[in-house]
Homo-oligomer: A and B are copies of this chain.
């Protein structure tokens, strides 16, 4: 499926790191949310509130998941999951297009 249907889109962007990371929030009929975002090259640390599933649609980046010491490499497409209330690090090498799903537990 190349698009999400019958969703609401929040007009205002989410802007982080001077705009090097930005996203748009979409809300589904059941109240769940996703963000569709872009990360430009740089090093970032993020924290989660809920569990997050990050789907990389395009890009080249490395991910250090919480509790691990090995960087996960993604070139092109990929996916990783971050538990709730955790921190993870990213080294983004090319403009990266992602979808983040927030999973209530």
Give the B-binding residues of A (Cβ under 8 A). 1-13, 15, 18-20, 22, 24, 26-27, 36, 38, 40, 57-58, 94-95, 97, 99
Contact = CB atoms under 8 A, between A and B. Distances in A.
How many chain copies does the complex carry? 2
Given A4-B11, A7-B8, A8-B5, A24 B22 contact: no
A12 B8 contact: no
B4 A9 contact: yes
Contacts of A7: 6-9
Contact of A3 (B8, B19, B22, B38): B8
Contact of A2 (B11, B18, B24): B11
Given A22-B95, A40-B19, A95-B18, A3 B13 contact: no
